Amino acid sequence: MNIKKLLSNIPKHSSQYSLKRLSRLLRDPYIDWAFIAAIWFVLLIVLSGVGYWTFVQVSIQADSALIDKSAMVTPVFDEQKLNRVLEESDSRKLEWVQLKDGKYSFPKGPSL
């Protein structure tokens, strides 16, 4: 095989030919629309890829944060405080029922 023969079969593109093709870009509406569609398609693929990559990264960070926090959280429960709150609630409920039924005795005010 002769390398010169192989190279001679490759079509040569001159700068004038490239300029002619580039000048068709603004004059031929079909080429313009094809160019616009190709750009939008490339942008769609790139933005979809970036969005998916971001979603995966956020999911990984959220999962690791949940695992770490669930291991660190210890249940804090004070039974005495709960009992005090329940007693206060019961006493207020009893006072409300007495006020509603008219059985609540109000303290006497100072006499004039």
**pLDDT digits 0-9 by tens, 52-106:** 999 999 988 877 766 655 556 666 778 888 899 999 999 999 888 888 887 767 6
Q: Does a structural domain hold residue 106?
A: no
Number of domains in the chain: 1
Residue-number span of the structural domain to which 78 is assigned = 24-101
Answer whether residue 4 is part of any domain: no
17 in a structural domain: no
Please report whether residue 8 resides in a domain: no
- Asked whether residue 23 carries a pLDDT value surpassing 80, the answer given is no
User: The whole model's pTM is what?
Assistant: 0.40
In this structure, is residue 38 part of a structural domain? yes
What value does the mean pLDDT take over residues 19-33? Answer: 75
Q: Give the mean model confidence (pLDDT) for residues 7-18.
A: 62
What stretch of H or E contains 102? Answer: none
**Residue whose token pair is 């409920």:** 93
